[in-house]
Structure 1
Amino acid sequence: MEASSSRISKPINWSTIIMFALGFWLSGSLVFDFLIVPGMLTSGMMNESGFASAGYMIFGTFNHLELLCAAIVLAGCLVYRYGYRLTSQINNKSIFIAAILLIISLAYTYIFTPQMSSMGMSLDMFATNEPASSSMTIMHIAYWSLEVIKLVAATALLRTFFRNSCSLV
């Protein structure tokens, strides 16, 4: 007895997957950068003694989500360029931008968050809160510089794939 299926397998639309991952990532970053972090700063949470460990959990979790999105975007770009369709519309520049986004996410996850948390953590229970050190200021400047680069690069990549998906008919 033969069983036949009337369903036909459609190829995966990598452009949609990449745009979804970039949109999720960008919207999460914007909410985090312009709502959550300023809210914590204005409420005085960043001056509390337990903020370093709480910040490590919050930022670490978000950084791992960023890492997942960056990996999906880079994998999607590679599949879209070399496996799915051999088009010249998605060029090596898009793959380079996706790789830069992955490198930024790796730096956030494994360099910035642990270093900034360790600088902010007080190991002396009886010590008073100290103002931010110059090394912490340098880390903040580097973090926000990478954040601007990430937002510009992700927006450019999203625009590239959106234009490409609109031209496919």
Structure 2
Amino acid sequence: MNTISHSHHKEHQEINWSAIILFALGFWLSGSLLLDFVLIPALSASGMMINSSFASAGFLIFGVFNRIELICASLVLTCALVFAFNHNFEQRKQTLFVTFSSILLLIALSYTYLFIPNMSAWGLCLNQFSATTAMPKAMISWHEGYWILEALKYGLGITLLRWSYKMEN
């Protein structure tokens, strides 16, 4: 009786966390730039934003994108925690990396569950007989908050992207 022994010695392949974070941040930030500076201005220029159905269309567009943002933010935070566990950075930068990643996740959560539902609700045409087309003050406040968070997201995201790129090279 011959016993055939197969010993499979696969080399231990380590996950390239730097590549994952570079992809997640690159995809997320480029998608945000496309949405903020191409899609929404194009919809605005075409008159879609004053159409009564824009609130529901905006809710759908942003709702889908916000779920993608949550996935990207979760990946970024996971990578940051792996970096912290492996001590890939000095202590101060390690703490900042995890903090910035956590803030990015909080921004994505606030967009998904606070900003977009409220902005969509304010955008709904509740009184179709009203002749006013001015944006309500509350809607303006939500937009201002959104753009402040977008600026923070871009700043933190680009910082993490730079640090991850330097670590990769």
SS in 2 for 1:87: coil
Query: Residue 67 of structure 1 contacts residue 105 of structure 1 at CA under 8 Å; is this kept in 2?
Result: yes
Aligned residues: 164
Spell out the pairing of 1:120-131 with structure 2 (5 A cutoff): 120-128=123-131, 130-131=133-134
Q: How does 1:80-99 map to 2 (within 5 A)?
A: 80-82=83-85, 85-89=86-90, 91-99=94-102
Q: Which amino acid aligns with 2:40?
A: V
1:75 to 73, 78, 100: 78
The structural deviation recorded for 1:6 is: 4.6
Q: Give the structure 1 partner of residue 144 of structure 2.
A: 141
Q: In the alignment, what sits opposite 2:161?
A: 158
* Corresponding position of 1:34: 37
- TM-score between both structures, scaled by the size of structure 2: 0.91
Q: Alpha-carbon deviation of 1:126?
A: 4.3
Equivalent of residue 2 in structure 1, options 2, 5, 14: 5
Alignment root-mean-square deviation, CA: 1.4
| Aligned-pair CA distance for 1:66 | 0.6
4+ residue segments displaced more than 6 Å:
none
8 A contact 1:77–1:98 mirrored in 2: yes
* Partner-residue secondary structure (3-state), 1:91: helix
- Counterpart-to-counterpart distance in 2, 1:50 and 1:129: 16
Give the whole-Å Cα distance in 2 for the aligned partners of 1:159 and 1:8. 30
Of 120, 132, 154 in structure 2, the residue corresponding to residue 117 of structure 1 is 120
After TM superposition, give the deviation of residue 117 of structure 1 in Å.
Answer: 0.3
- Code of the residue aligned with 1:87 in structure 2: it is N
Structure 2: gaps (5+ residues): none
Rg larger for: 2
Q: Which residue of 2 aligns with 1:17?
A: 20
